Structure 1
Amino acid sequence: MFANLPETGQKRIVIVGAGFGGLTLAQKLARYDVQVVLVDKNNYHQFQPLFYQVAMAGLEPSAISFPIRKIFQKQKNIHVRITAVNRIDTQIKQLKTDIGVINYDYLVLAIGADTNYYGMENIEKNGIPMKSISEAIYLRNRVLQNFEDALSEPDEEEKEGMMSVVVVGGGPTGVELSGTLAEMRKMILPKDYPELDFERMKIYLFQSGDRVLPTMSDQAADKGGKYLEELGVDLRLGERVVDFDGRYAITNKGDRIRANNLVWAAGIKSNRIEGLADEAYSRSGRLQVDGISCVQGYTDVFAIGDMAEMVSEEYPRGHPQLAQAAIQQGELLAENLFQLIKGEPTENFEYKDLGSMATIGRNLAVVDLPFWRFQGAFAWYVWMFVHLMAILGAKNKLMVLINWVWSYITYDQSLRLIIKPNWRILNRKSEKKEEIEAEP
C-alpha cells in the first residue's frame, strides 16, 4: 500500500523528523520548485531547550509546541504526514511507514537522538529521561505525586526519599533542572505543602567530570557550580550513579542515596533507522556524512542534526549535538539539494559557533558568546530574550513571556497539575488495535 501523495512531476524530497534541522530544511525548500514530504510521529514541533520548564511546572506544554501543519498552511509544495517510519529500502528508494510506502528522489534523515543509558538496565527502567514533551509531563506528575504521597507517609526516611531528587548529568539540562528545583524548594513548594519540612528535601547533581557545563568556558563552569551550591544543590563532581532501583541511587564510590526520583540527563545516542548499511554508522552510532551531509555509501540519502557525524579538522568527532548545528545544516542542505537537482556545484558545510548559554535560577545565568563571556543577571535577561525569540509562533512567545513575568513578580507558578492518562481508554485502544491486527 502506498501513502496517498500527489504526483506532480517535481523531484520529491522526503524529510524524516520535524526537529530543528528537519523543520528548517523544509521551510527553506518551500521556496524551490520541488515537492517536500515532511514525516514525523508527532504533529507538532517541540522546543527542546525548555523541556525542563514544563517538567518543573513553569510552562504549559502547548507553550513550547507548535503544530507542524500551521507552519506550512500556505506552502502548496509541502506535504505533512504524521506516522512512524519503520525502514528504508535504498535499492528502490522507498520509505516504509505505518500509513504505507513513500517514494523519494532524495531522503533526508533528521530524527535526532534519544537517551543513552550506557547499558544500565535498572536506570533505564526506573530513571526518568527528558527528551520529549511527554517525558517532561511524566516527570512533573511523578515529582508532584511524590509530594502528595509524602503528606501521608509516617516514616521520616521514606518521606525524605519521596521528596528528594537525584539529577545525573551536569550539562545545561541537568544544571537548569537542578537550579529550578532548588528555587521551587525555597520559594514555591513550602506554600503548597506547609505540612512538609523542606529542609529534608535533598537535590543532588552528579557529574562524572571535574566541573559542570563541560562544553562551556571555565569561567561559565565555575560560576555555574558556584550558583548551584549557593542554591543548596549537593554537587557531586567526579562521581557517577551506576545503579538505581527506584528507591536508592548507588554511586561508583559505593554511596547509597535515598531518593525516589532520578532524572537521567547524562548522555544521548543517535536514533537509528532500519535499512542503512552498518558501515554508514560511526563508532559513536551517528551516521557518517560528507561536507554536504550525504550519508557515506549513498548518493541520495542525507542526514543532519544530532544523528549526523560530519568530521572536520576543527571537529574530529563531528559537530556538537546542538540546535544551532542542526539549523545551520538544514539551511545549507536546502540550497545544496536544489543545486544537485540542477546538476550544479554544491557548497561544503562550515559550522558557525554562535555561543552557548545556561540558566541556573532567578538572575543567575552564564553566557558564552564568540566575542564575550558574562554571567549573572544580565546573562539571565539575554538567555530569556534569545529563547523567547527562538520559540515558534507569536502566541506561544506571548504565553511564555506572561508565564515568566508572572513567575518573576509573584515567585510562583500556577501550572502544578498532575495530569494522568486514562488507562481505561488506553487499554480499550490497545484491545481494538489487537482486534484489527488479528483480522485476516
Structure 2
Amino acid sequence: MRVVVLGAGYAGLTLARRLESRLPATADLVVVDESDDHLVQHELHRVIRRPAVEDAITVPLRDALDRATIRTARVEDLDREARRIHLSDGTLDYDYAALCLGAETAFYDLPGVDEHGIPLKRLGHAHRVRDAVLDACEVDGRAVVGGAGLSGVQVAGEIAALAAERGADLDVTLLERLDTVAPAFPEAFQSAVRDALESAGVAIHTNARVTGATADAVELDDGTVPYDAFVWTGGIRGPDAIGSDRPIVRGDCKLDDHTFAVGDAARVVDADGEAVPASAAAAIREARTVAINVDRLVRWELEGGAADEFPPKLDLFRFDAPGWIASVGDDAVATVGPKVFTGATARTMKATVGAGHLSSIGAISRAVNLVQEELGPS
C-alpha cells in the first residue's frame, strides 16, 4: 500500500506529517517535491528587503518529516486512471495520492507580462525583485506591482519600505483591475489596507486593466505606466502537471476514489457549499481533513473492505475563516471577526501566525528567528 503526497507546501507538509502519525506501519508514505525545503510562502515578500529572513522561512524536509520517503523531483504528469505519477526522474505508482502542488502565477497570455513581470512564488523570485528594486532605487525610478491581492499588497509595502531605508525617491505604484485593493476580503480590511499602503507612499491605481508589457512600461487599456522594476502578482493558475487547471473539489477534497486535491492546486467548495479562498490557512485546514480521510480509506482497504463493502464515509471540510492579515512594510493590518487591528498589535499577530506554523512543523529555532525579524525593525 503506497500513499503519495505531491508537493510539500502548506497543504502537502501538513498532510504528510499527519499521515506519518496516523497511517498503519504497513503503509508506505512518499512525499514528492522539486525542492529539498519547505517554504513559508506568506513570508516570502520579506526576503525582498531582509534577505536573512530566507534562513528562517526555509525548513529542510528531512528535518520536518520522520517516516516518509522524500523524493526530490518535479511532477510532470498525473495519470489518475493508471494511478501513475510521471516525474522528472521516472515514474511512481500509488494506491492513494494527494495533489498538493499549490498554484502558479497566471499571466493570462498578456503580451510581454510573462517576459517582463517578475512573479513571487520562489526564493529566486524574491532575489530578482530585490535586485531590480535596488537598481531602480539608484536612479530614483519607478516600481510597478501588478495585482492588489494579499501578495501584491505585501510586495508593494516591502518595496516602499526598502526604498525608504535606502533614502531613494522611488515611486511605487500598485495596479488592480477591480475597484479596490484586497478585493476578495471584507470591506473594513480593504479600507485599512488602503490606508496602510497610502501611508507607506504607495500610489494605488484601481480599475486599471493591464493589456501587456514592454521592457520599460506596463500597458493599460487607457495608457501606459513606465517602470524600472515590474512585479506581477495578478492571479493564479493550477500546476503544470494537471494542465494548469484548478479543478473543483467538494468538501471531501476528492478528485476520484484514489486521488485528493488539497490547497491552492484546486478550487475547494466546502461542506456548506462555500468557495474556499486560496490561502495558507485554508490549505492547512483542508490537509487535516484529508489526513483523516486517507487514513480511513487505507485502513478499510488493508482490512479487506474493498472486496465486498462500500467505502467508509469521509469527513467533509468546513472553512471558518479565523480572520485575515497582511503586512505593509513595517505596518500590518489584521482582522479578527469584525475588528480591525493595525500597528504593533497587527505586527505581533502577523509574527505569531508565521511562528505558529513553523512551530507546528517542528522548526522551533526558525520560529524564534522569524519573530525577531518580524518585530525587530519598526
TM-score (norm 1): 0.77
Q: Does 1:249 align with 2:221?
A: no
The equivalent position to 2:16 in structure 1, one of 26, 36, 48, is 26
CA contact (8 A) 1:53 1:59 kept: no
CA contact (8 A) 1:246 1:261 kept: no
Give the drift of 1:313.
7.6
Give the drift of 1:142.
2.3
Instruction: Tell me the distance in 1 between the aligned counterparts of 2:366 and 2:288.
Output: 24
CA contact (8 A) 1:40 1:83 kept: yes
- Identify if the C-alpha distance between structure 1 residues 18 and 213 changes in structure 2 by more than 3 Å, giving closer, same or farther: same
Q: Equivalent pairs: percent with the same residue? A: 25
Structure-2 residue corresponding to 1:109: 99
Structure-1 residue corresponding to 2:304: none
- Identify if the C-alpha distance between structure 1 residues 21 and 234 changes in structure 2 by more than 3 Å, giving closer, same or farther: same
Give the drift of 1:315.
4.8
Instruction: Tell me the distance in 2 between the aligned counterparts of 1:99 and 1:338.
Output: 28
The equivalent position to 1:44 in structure 2, one of 27, 37, 54, is 37
Structure-2 residue corresponding to 1:321: 278
Matches within 5 A, 1:175-214: 175-186=153-164, 188-190=165-167, 198-199=168-169, 201-214=170-183
The equivalent position to 2:332 in structure 1, one of 356, 365, 377, is 365
Structure-1 residue corresponding to 2:372: 402
Matches within 5 A, 1:331-410: 331-343=288-300, 344-362=312-330, 364-370=331-337, 372-391=339-358, 392=361, 393-408=363-378
| Secondary structure of the corresponding residue to residue 179 of structure 2 | coil
- Identify if the C-alpha distance between structure 1 residues 313 and 43 changes in structure 2 by more than 3 Å, giving closer, same or farther: closer
Q: Does 1:330 align with 2:299?
A: no
Instruction: Tell me the distance in 2 between the aligned counterparts of 1:304 and 1:28.
Output: 14
Structure-2 residue corresponding to 1:263: 231
Q: Does 1:92 align with 2:82?
A: yes
CA offsets, 1:209-265, max 9 Å, x none?
2221222221221122122222221111221332221212222221x3221211111
- Identify if the C-alpha distance between structure 1 residues 35 and 388 changes in structure 2 by more than 3 Å, giving closer, same or farther: same
CA offsets, 1:363-407, max 9 Å, x none?
x32212236333333222222222222235122123223334543
CA offsets, 1:145-182, max 9 Å, x none?
444xx4xxxxxxxx34xx31001111122112222222
Q: Does 1:136 align with 2:126?
A: yes
Instruction: Tell me the distance in 2 between the aligned counterparts of 1:332 and 1:313.
Output: 12
CA contact (8 A) 2:347 2:374 kept: no
Greater shift in the superposed pair: 104-113 or 345-354:
345-354
CA contact (8 A) 2:161 2:200 kept: yes
- Identify if the C-alpha distance between structure 1 residues 233 and 37 changes in structure 2 by more than 3 Å, giving closer, same or farther: same
Instruction: Tell me the distance in 1 between the aligned counterparts of 2:279 and 2:250.
Output: 19
- Identify if the C-alpha distance between structure 1 residues 237 and 146 changes in structure 2 by more than 3 Å, giving closer, same or farther: closer
| Structure 1: runs of 5+ lacking an equivalent | 1-10, 151-158, 191-197, 409-440
What letter matches 1:242 in structure 2? T
| Secondary structure of the corresponding residue to residue 156 of structure 2 | helix
| Secondary structure of the corresponding residue to residue 204 of structure 1 | strand
CA contact (8 A) 1:180 1:360 kept: yes
Structure 1 segments of 4 or more deviating over 6 A?
Answer: none
CA contact (8 A) 2:270 2:318 kept: no
CA contact (8 A) 1:217 1:368 kept: no
Structure-1 residue corresponding to 2:309: none
Instruction: Tell me the distance in 1 between the aligned counterparts of 2:246 and 2:205.
Output: 30
Give the drift of 1:309.
2.3
- Identify if the C-alpha distance between structure 1 residues 291 and 233 changes in structure 2 by more than 3 Å, giving closer, same or farther: closer
Give the drift of 1:294.
1.1
Instruction: Tell me the distance in 2 between the aligned counterparts of 1:315 and 1:267.
Output: 23
The equivalent position to 1:53 in structure 2, one of 26, 40, 46, is 46
CA offsets, 1:97-136, max 9 Å, x none?
2332212111111111001111113011011100111111
| Structure 2: runs of 5+ lacking an equivalent | 301-311
What letter matches 1:105 in structure 2? D
Structure-2 residue corresponding to 1:222: 191
